[in-house]
Amino acid sequence: MNPDLTSILGNFYVLTLIKLALVAFVLLTALAYLQWIERKVIAHIQLRVGPTRVGPHGLLQPLADTIKLLTKEDLVPAHVNKFFYVLAPMMAVFFALSAIAVIPFGPKINIFGIETYMQLSDLNIGLLYLLALSGMGVYGIALAGWSSNNKYSLIGGLRSSAQMISYELPLALAIASPLLLAGSLSLREIAESQAGFMLGFIPRWSIFQMPAPQILAFVLFMIAGFAETNRVPFDLPEAENELVAGFHTEYSSMKFASFFMAEYANMVTLCSVATLLFLGGWYPLVPAPVDGFIPPLLLWAGGAMLIFHGLQPARKWDKYTMPAFGAVFLLAGFAFLIPFLQPVLVPLFWFVSKVGILLFLFIWVRATLPRFRYDQLMRFAWAFMFPVSVVHLFATALLVALLK
């Protein structure tokens, strides 16, 4: 083999392994702390305090929960189908985590002379890959309910199957509309089609892009996404007050935790896809060069606010923890001004910010809305979401055919 080719392949595989390790570490850490953020946000909305005991501001609560679940007795009831009982949580986690492989986080960058995408794998049919995984994800929950040999778990699994299959239709139709504008199934190419600004200041995101702004498709996608991830108000498969926790009633220890890991991973994936399809991916809200100054300004403002509160502590440890976190924010702000880091950090900031806002929306809705009845949930999917999605897709196709 050509020595130059061997060197290129070696660098490619090493870089891919490094990206894989970084993505896995960041994703798993984010999943652990997403539940901490959710508990804190819901607590503030409902005038409670949330986790506070384990570490400063409860920041070590995810670690404590992980240790508890790892050391908890893993019971396997005698009446279950053991093979599928064990397989179900593994399937849920596998399909949820596999989706992150095709999510692009930023543009092509140069690392030590090697050009690479901020993405694990750039599939030209990445969107079809994600839809296939979301369709397979329902098997984990359905198998969990059936294999438990428990009528409440079975009802939860059946509910989940019907719900996820029903809402996959409007979800897919909502996705098809921005595809007509982008003309590609690659998530990277879809994001790149939204680069630039209209009239010099309006981002060319799909929700604004002419001739068919996709605001309605974005709303339909997010509503269907709530149902696909079994989140309130569509969390009927887990209806604790009706089904004693639903499809995972018979699970304990890490098998029980696996379903929640899959749920949060699906939330992250869904918000990432929404960002790429409708909100311009890693492209900024404002034109250059202003886009590069917004991240450090926001971080410095957050750091200054933390230091200010640390000087007037409400709790004993605040005078130590808040200035420390404030200093971290200030240093992070300066990192955005380093020239060779800017091409990596600035796009990443905009992408993570958009995903974070959508995740906050998921949490806000959970703390606000009550759960639907099952008949309301199914009627909403078939009598409203599906026909509206079909009409919107036809309208988008007509506008694109006539005006683009």
pLDDT digits (tens, 9 = 90+) for 169-212: 999 999 999 999 988 899 999 999 999 898 888 999 999 988 88
Cα 275 versus chain centre, distance: 10
Does position 340 have pLDDT exceeding 90, yes or no?
no
Which range scores top for mean pLDDT: 200-214, 301-315, 346-360? 346-360
Q: What is the pLDDT of residue 265?
A: 93
Check if the beta carbon of residue 182 is closer than 8 Å to that of residue 401: no
Please give the structure tokens belonging to residue 164: 């996820």
Check if the beta carbon of residue 103 is closer than 8 Å to that of residue 19: no
Q: Measuring CA to CA, how many Å separate 214 from each of 141, 207, 355, 400? A: 32, 4, 18, 12
Judged by DSSP in three states, 289 sits in: coil
- H helices, E strands: number in the chain: 14, 4
Check if the beta carbon of residue 182 is closer than 8 Å to that of residue 192: no
Q: What stretch of H or E contains 393?
A: helix 386-403
Give the CB-side neighbour count of residue 350, counting CA atoms within 13 A.
Answer: 27
Q: Give per-residue pLDDT as tens, 19-61.
A: 888 998 999 899 989 999 999 999 999 888 888 888 888 899 9
Of the pLDDT bands very low, low, confident and very high (cuts 50, 70, 90), residue 277 is very high
Check if the beta carbon of residue 154 is closer than 8 Å to that of residue 141: no
Q: Measuring CA to CA, how many Å separate 154 from each of 162, 195, 239, 254? A: 12, 47, 13, 21
Does position 255 have pLDDT exceeding 70, yes or no?
yes
CA 377/CA 395 separation, integer angstroms = 26
What are residue 203's DSSP bridge partners? 197
What are residue 106's DSSP bridge partners? 118
Report domain extents, the chain.
68-283+338-403
Q: Measuring CA to CA, how many Å separate 317 from each of 64, 68, 311, 324? A: 20, 25, 11, 11
CA 271/CA 166 separation, integer angstroms = 20
Q: Beta-strand (E) ranges in 126-279?
A: 197-198, 202-203
Q: What is the pLDDT of residue 397?
A: 92
Q: What is the pLDDT of residue 15?
A: 80
Using DSSP bridges, classify how beta strands 202-203 and 197-198 pair: parallel, antiparallel or unpaired.
Answer: antiparallel
| CA nearest to 271, candidates 155, 403, 363 | 363
CA 275/CA 195 separation, integer angstroms = 13
One-letter amino acid for residue 100 of the chain: I
Q: Measuring CA to CA, how many Å separate 33 from each of 28, 61, 175, 196, 298? A: 9, 9, 29, 34, 21
Peptide bond into 211 cis (omega under 30): yes
Does position 4 have pLDDT exceeding 70, yes or no?
no
> What is the chain's mean pLDDT, rounded?
88
| CA nearest to 255, candidates 114, 109, 80 | 80
Judged by DSSP in three states, 75 sits in: coil
